[in-house]
Amino acid sequence: MGRPWRIEYPGALYHVLSRGNERRDIFFDDRDRHLFLNILGEMSERFEVEIFAYALMPNHYHLLMRTHQPNLSRSMHWLGVSYTNRLNARHNRIGHLFQGRFKSILVENDAYLIQLSCYIHRNPLRAGIVKRLADYHWSSYLAYAYGRKSPEWLSMELILSSFEGGAKHLAYREKVQGYASEERRLWEDFRHGLFLGSKLFVDRMREKYLPESPHSEIPQQKSVARLDNPQQLLEEAAHELGCDLETIRRSARIAPNFRDDRDLLIYFMWNTGVLNNMEIGQLFGLTYSSISHIVKGVKHRLEYERELGEKIERLYSQFKI
């Protein structure tokens, strides 16, 4: 697997996720969770990192943060090593705790903060750990939704200031409770597995940070480099599958074998991150909700249809995705 592309600059916003090695637990008891939060606070102060929201799950964690210095990699490396060393010492264990490199999503601006905080705070609910978020004590949700005591390093003012009136905690609670229906729209702006924002934002980052020759070990750079001509990428992928792109796009009723090729191409374009769902829909004459439905269906089929999996792997291999 290639290296992730880290774009770092003062004031950058990130959604960060890190999983346990082999998806194993990274917290063994509540003392470990307290330990992690204490180290997170140390990291915040040491590296000038502003933490807006967090959620500690059994085998991974989520952070919503802003780096005031271009030091995402340094700060996250320090966090991971410091926690691993102290946890290993406490439990008399050795070896890695986290699964390789952390994942980071570069966020365009503050406008995404409320939505991302809702997404992060709903993690325990989606995972089936609790039936009510009020029962989960290892995220920043209780501080936002009920005004419970929070760590001194947790920066809540920016998100809460978006709610008018005096009952900001109640307003935030209601926002999170009703967020499930909005979540899909948030990820409409997720691009290249790296950016959350508009196409204009991606273009700016591309112009400023993409090298003339994308690095062979950083697939995201290659994906962003293809922005100039997504139509050509689609045509080349269709040729690789041996299907007629125009037939697929013009047919009102598509035969099953053509439908498979079309759905696979849609999934491929979606997975590269070159276009969002609405833009992919425009290429195929479909609505963005149809694209979402097709992507979900292909994801499910890839779990048990070997031939479909081999086709998508062939595309990944051909285009180095």
User: Would you call 230 helix, strand, or coil by DSSP?
Assistant: helix
What mean pLDDT, rounded, does the chain reach?
89
Q: Which long-range contacts (CB under 8 A, 24 or more apart) does 83-86 make?
A: 83/35, 83/36, 83/39, 86/35, 86/39
> pLDDT tens digit string along 260-293?
889 999 998 887 766 778 888 888 888 888 898 9
Least confident of 104-113, 145-154, 294-303: 294-303
Among positive and negative, which fits the CA dihedral 185, 140, 192, 242? negative
| Model confidence at 43: pLDDT above 60 | yes
pLDDT at 260 (0 to 100) = 87
Mean pLDDT of 221-235: 73
Q: Can you give the residue ranges of every domain in the chain?
A: 12-186, 229-319
Architecture of the domain delimited by 229-319: Orthogonal Bundle (1.10)
Mean pLDDT of 49-64: 98
> pLDDT tens digit string along 164-219?
877 999 999 999 998 877 777 787 788 877 899 988 898 899 889 887 777 766 76
| Model confidence at 148: pLDDT above 70 | yes
User: Would you call 305 helix, strand, or coil by DSSP?
Assistant: coil
pLDDT at 183 (0 to 100) = 76
Is 12-186 assigned to CATH 3.20.20.120? no
Mean pLDDT of 227-242: 80
Q: How far is CA 23 from CA 59, 87, 91, 230, 318, in A?
A: 6, 17, 19, 34, 29
pTM of the model: 0.74
| Model confidence at 57: pLDDT above 70 | yes
Percent of the chain with pLDDT over 90: 54
User: Would you call 98 helix, strand, or coil by DSSP?
Assistant: strand
